[in-house]
Structure formats: C-alpha cells, structure tokens
Amino acid sequence: MADYIYTMEIRLTPDQLKGVGLVQDVARAAGMNLYLTGGAIRDIISGFSIRDLDFTVQGNPLKLQKDFEKAGARITAVEEDIRTIFLVLPGNARAEVSMARTERFEKTGKPPIVMPATIHEDLRRRDFTVNAMALSLNEGSRGLLLDPFNGVADLEAKLIRILHNYSFLEDPSRLIRAIRFAARFHWPLEERTQARYDAAKEGKYIDHILRSSIGHEIAALAHEDDPLNVVKMLEKEGWLEILHPHWTSAKVDTNGITALMKTRQQMVDLGYLPDAGPAVMYFLTSHFSDKDVADIQKMIPRKDLVEAWRDIEDHAKELAKRLMGKEAATPSRTWQLLSSARPEMVLFLAVTAKQQSVDQKIKNYLTKWRQVQQSLPIPEMTELLITPQLPEYPKLANDVFLLLLDGKMRSRTERLKYLKPFAPPPPPPPPAPRRGRQPKAAAQAAAAANPAGAQPGKPGPKGKKGKAAAVPAAPAMPAPAAKADPKAKVAEKAKPEAKPPKAAAQPGHKPGKKVAAKSPKKKKK
C-alpha cells in the first residue's frame, strides 16, 4: 500500500510541511479530527506543484482562529456560511481550513444549505473525483487515504470526472473549474462529464453562478503556473466574461505575464518561492479601467491578495528608488538590499523596471553574481583549511563573496593576506589507534611493544605506566616497534583477533610492513 504520509513529506515544501504540523497541533488540541483534502492530495499524489493546503476538520474551524494566530498563522479571510478560514502559515504557505459539511442545493442559483458532517459525507459534495480524496492526519488512522470515488484511478488516467449527473446544475462554477483544471493539467474531461458539460453550457446553467464563486475563481487565476493559457481557455469557453463582463485576453499584458512567469521560474530554480499572485493579477488586468479593476478586487475573498495587488506598483517604485540611491552604490550593497527585499517585489520589479540601471542590477543579482557566489570556496580557502565545518565559515564565506563582488581581493597575495587570520590551527596529532574487537588488548600489545612510544610530554596515569592505561598515548608508529620488541610478539600471539594497529594508514607515516604482513596469518589461526 502506498505510504501517503511519506509522499506528503517529500512533496511538500519545508514551510508547507511545518504548516501541516501547525494545523495538526491546533486541531488535535481542540479535539477535532483533521484531514488533508482536495487539491493538496491530488497534487501530492500526481506530482504537480502544491499551491495551497486544503484542510478539513470535523468540527467548526471558526472556533480555532485565536489558536491559529497564537501558533503563528495569519488569518486572511473567513467565510462564515461554509465555516472556512483562510490562513497564511509561517513562511508564506497558503492554507484553508473548512468544516466537513454537506451542501443541499434546493433552489438553482441560491446558496446551498450547509450542515456539519463527517469527512465521508463531505467528500460527496466535492467537484471532481480527483479532488474528492482525504488523507487522515489523526492518531490511529494517520496516513489512511479516503478515496470513495476512486480518484487515484482518474489521476492515473488523467481525467476530470464529476461525481454525479447534477454536479454542474448544482454549482455552475464547476464548469469554470473543469476548464481551469483541464487547461492546467492538459487533461480532458471524461466522456460523460463532457456530455454533461456540453448540456450545461447549452442550458446556460452558468447564469446561476453565485457571486462568491466568481470571486473564488478570479482569485484562483492568481496562482496558476500558466495563467495566460488558462485565461485563453476560459475565454474560448465563454467563461472569462462571467468572471467580469469586460474581460478578454486583450485586457492582459501578454508580454508582461510571459516575462513574469519566466522570471518566477528562474527565481524558483535559485531557491526562492515568490508569491506571484498579486503580480499575475496585475498583468491579467493591465488594460482594464481603474473602476473595473476595483470591481474585480471587490469580488475576491482573500483580502491579502487584493492588498498586495493594490500596493504592488508603489512598493516596486520604492524599491527602484532605493536601488538607484546610495544604499545600492556598490554591487555588494545592492546584493544586500535585494537579498533583504521581499522576493515578490524583486520579481515584479525585474519585469517592470523602467530604469536601465535598476534592471541591470536585478539581472546581475539573479545571474552574474550567482556565479561569483558559486565560485566559493576559492582555492585559497581550501588551502588554508577554511572549510564549511568551521563555525565561522558561513559569515566568512559571505564576507569573501561580498568582497569579490566589489572586485576586491583580486590577487592571490591579497586573498591569502585576508584569509590567513581565519585559518584554523593545524590539526591535533592523530588519535591513538583503537581498532579491532578488543582495542584495549591491541593497544596493550602496542604499548608493551613500545613503552617509550607514549606521546611526548604526556605520561600515562599514575601507577599504570607502560600498561593498558597508556592507550590514549599509543605510539604513532607502533608497527616497527612491534618488530623490535619480543614482548610485543608474545602479546600479539596471545590476542590473535586483535587487528594490526592502523597507524600505518595515517598520513605522514610509513606503513609497518611486517605487522601488516603478519596479520592475515594471525587471522587464520
């Protein structure tokens, strides 16, 4: 059976994984059963990137708001009617925690009647089979996958399948969701789902879409990896104008969004995780009037997304100004400034900077200067044994990097002069050989063989001179001594299993040939 907890652990980012732990702790303390659900499970199993964590609890998550905040999460939106809270977990991982519920659709176009339910019932109200799975995070059943509609099989078949024939009628936003997923994953709708989809389109079910669902679908565009493709597919199907009547692909800054996604990928490859959402929304609506943009923003439930989108230009201008000022007068200072800026701002400015100097600085930050960083450790550091094991290495390496960025330490003499004070003292003398099953006995033999071989200036403990107690000060070259002292032979014979001392292998010492040659014989005995 597949180990889904293991798969989850290796697929989530470290921040997402910590977020799972945080939500788990809060739910456990409140005595609520917790499941990872929806798209998070789909993406964990299928290998797609996991954009947000969808949790479901059996109980009311609205009661947990304070606990989440205390644990370090930020609450960005609350939907009372479906008892869902939207969170940003430490490290910027997005999550939502919903109450396990049933939804009864009584009137077309009216919100469903929501009732608390078990996780099994909850899975039945979901949109597609691949989204109707839950992974238990509870003691006793942790790792158990609930998959009542065989979503795993549809993941393998790469199919989008509704759970029942009334799915699109009950909630027409699923028509938009179906196309969004089809565009994202490049998967087709399953045959019967396609037939229902066509009928729903023909029957204009979409006219009954709830306003709140439109807001969700708009916000979902912000987190697509290829938003332009999704927008084009939605437009082709007639759904883009449902999200806003003036929305067409002509309203999109196509070059802007293409450059944005390319730079985002470049940053991801460098280990940053910029939240491109606000910038994506900015470019998707670039050619809208301010009023239309404001109308769209009003529809979005996640206020953090809206605020970041609203402020994006001002924040970018601020950063550009700083990049043109004294604060970024040298490459090293520019590096420090950009390293402390929010990755999303670096991303947005990389694509929108109007000043050539700003543009060039960000380009250097993302490309050329990385090569300087990768050239560390420079040979002189290795030579002087300045290795990552030293506690002061990270700071020193960073200082060296910044100096190199500024074109300092060009000559070898300069580099050695700078680095020498940081070189560690030469390594201590090699430790005494302690090998074999009875190292004490072996050392005894060695000590007996060469009582004079104790470390200079380090006599053995009182009253035990020349005995086994001298082990820590065993001779560095016991082998030749063993040959010289007949006592040693006796000792060695008496303990045939003792391996020859390894001193021969130590740097700076020649191997003790005789002992090495004798040892196999001894083993045969």
Binding mask 393-432 for ligand ATP (x = CB under 6 A): ----------------------------------------
The answer to whether 302 contacts ligand ATP (rule: CB under 6 A) is no
173 binds, among ligand ATP, Mg ion, none (CB under 5 to 8 A by kind): ligand ATP
Q: Is 95 left (phi over 0), alpha (psi -120 to 50) or beta?
A: beta
Tokens of 522: 């001894």
Q: Tell me the closest approach of the beta carbon of residue 25 to ligand ATP, in angstroms.
A: 22
Q: Tell me the closest approach of the beta carbon of residue 51 to Mg ion, in angstroms.
A: 6
Contact (Cβ atoms closer than 8 angstroms) between residue 176 and residue 242: yes
CA distance 517 to 493: 14
Sign of CA dihedral 459, 464, 469, 474: positive
Contact (Cβ atoms closer than 8 angstroms) between residue 432 and residue 472: yes
Q: Tell me the closest approach of the beta carbon of residue 43 to ligand ATP, in angstroms.
A: 6
* Shortest-Cβ-distance residue relative to Mg ion: 39
The answer to whether 502 contacts ligand ATP (rule: CB under 6 A) is no
Residue 174 or 244: which CB sits closer to ligand ATP? 174
Region from 166-174, 236-244, 299-307, 349-357 binding ligand ATP, contact rule CB under 6 A:
166-174
The answer to whether 220 contacts ligand ATP (rule: CB under 6 A) is yes
The answer to whether 38 contacts ligand ATP (rule: CB under 6 A) is yes
* Shortest-Cβ-distance residue relative to ligand ATP: 39
Residue 101 or 502: which CB sits closer to Mg ion? 101
The answer to whether 127 contacts ligand ATP (rule: CB under 6 A) is yes
The answer to whether 237 contacts ligand ATP (rule: CB under 6 A) is no
The DSSP-derived string for 174-223 is HHHHHHHHHHHHT-PBPHHHHHHHHHHHHTTGGGG--HHHHHHHHHHHTT
Of 11, 174, 196, 264, the one binding ligand ATP (CB under 6 A) is 174
CA distance 425 to 140: 54
The answer to whether 173 contacts ligand ATP (rule: CB under 6 A) is yes
Q: Tell me the closest approach of the beta carbon of residue 338 to ligand ATP, in angstroms.
A: 30
Residue 101 or 518: which CB sits closer to ligand ATP? 101
- Give the up-direction half-sphere exposure of residue 29: CA atoms within 13 A in the CB hemisphere: 13
Q: Tell me the closest approach of the beta carbon of residue 334 to ligand ATP, in angstroms.
A: 36
List contacts with Mg ion (CB under 5 A). 39, 52, 54
The greatest distance separating any two alpha carbons of the chain, rounded to the nearest whole angstrom, comes to: 104
Q: How many CB atoms lie within 10 A of CB 207?
A: 10
H/E element, 93:
strand 93-99
Of 39, 112, 151, 512, the one binding ligand ATP (CB under 6 A) is 39
The answer to whether 171 contacts ligand ATP (rule: CB under 6 A) is yes
* 3 state SS for 332-381: HHHHHHHHHCCHHHHHHHHHHCCCHHHHHHHHHHHCHHHHHHHCCCCHHH
The answer to whether 196 contacts ligand ATP (rule: CB under 6 A) is no
CA distance 454 to 435: 18
Size of the site for ligand ATP (CB under 6 A): 14
The answer to whether 83 contacts ligand ATP (rule: CB under 6 A) is no
Q: Tell me the closest approach of the beta carbon of residue 40 to ligand ATP, in angstroms.
A: 6
171 binds, among ligand ATP, Mg ion, none (CB under 5 to 8 A by kind): ligand ATP
Phi first, then psi: what are they for 462, rounded to 5°?
A: -50, 140
The answer to whether 52 contacts ligand ATP (rule: CB under 6 A) is yes
| Three-state DSSP state, 294 | helix
Tokens of 1: 């059976």
Region from 23-31, 50-58, 85-93, 195-203 binding ligand ATP, contact rule CB under 6 A:
50-58
Residue 134 or 257: which CB sits closer to ligand ATP? 134
Burial classification of residue 148, based on how many CB atoms lie within 10 Å of its CB (0-12 exposed, 13-18 middle, 19 or more buried): middle
Of the candidates 167, 161, 177, the residue with the CA atom closest to the CA atom of residue 213: 177
The answer to whether 16 contacts ligand ATP (rule: CB under 6 A) is no
Please state, in angstroms and as integers, the Cα–Cα distance from residue 167 to each residue in 9, 125, 163, 176, 434, following that order. 33, 9, 7, 12, 73
Q: Tell me the closest approach of the beta carbon of residue 162 to Mg ion, in angstroms.
A: 18
The DSSP-derived string for 5-30 is HHHHHHHS-HHHHHHHHHHHHHHHHT
The answer to whether 54 contacts ligand ATP (rule: CB under 6 A) is yes
Please state, in angstroms and as integers, the Cα–Cα distance from residue 502 to each residue in 35, 336, 512, following that order. 56, 49, 9
Q: Tell me the closest approach of the beta carbon of residue 195 to ligand ATP, in angstroms.
A: 19
Site residues for ligand ATP per CB under 6 A: 38-39, 51-52, 54, 126-127, 131-132, 171, 173-174, 177, 220
